[in-house]
Copies of this chain bind each other. A is one copy, B any other.
Amino acid sequence: MKRIRLLVSYDGTDYCGWQIQPNGITIEEILNEKLKKLTGEDIHVIGASRTDSGVHALGNVAVFDTDSPIPPERMAYALNQKLPADIVIVKSEEVPPDWHPRYQEQISKTYEYHIYNAQIPDPLKRRYSTFVSFPLDVGKMQDGAAYLEGEHDFASFCNIRTNAENTVRRIDRIEIEKEDRDITIRVTGNGFLYNMVRIIAGTLIRVGRGFYTPEKVKEILEAEERTEAGVTAPPEGLTLVKIEYGMSAG
Query: Bound complex: CA of A126 vs CA of B14, how far in Å?
Result: 14
Q: Is the Cβ of A124 less than 8 Å from the Cβ of B85?
A: no
A127 located at the interface, meaning its Cβ lies under 8 Å from any Cβ of chain B in the complex: yes
Q: Is the Cβ of A9 less than 8 Å from the Cβ of B123?
A: yes
A88 located at the interface, meaning its Cβ lies under 8 Å from any Cβ of chain B in the complex: yes
- Chain B CB within 10 A, most for which of A85, A90, A123, A124: A123
**Hey, which chain B residues are within 8 Å of A58, CB to CB?**
122, 124
With A85-B126, A126-B85, A127-B127 in contact, is A90–B120 under 8 Å at CB?
Answer: yes
A contacts, CB < 8 Å to B: 9-11, 56, 58, 76, 85-88, 90-91, 120-124, 126-128, 239
Can you name 27 A-B residue pairings with CB atoms under 8 Å?
Answer: A9-B122, A9-B123, A9-B124, A10-B123, A11-B123, A11-B124, A11-B126, A56-B123, A56-B124, A58-B122, A58-B124, A76-B120, A85-B121, A85-B123, A85-B126, A86-B123, A86-B126, A87-B123, A88-B120, A88-B121, A88-B122, A88-B123, A90-B120, A91-B120, A124-B128, A124-B239, A127-B127
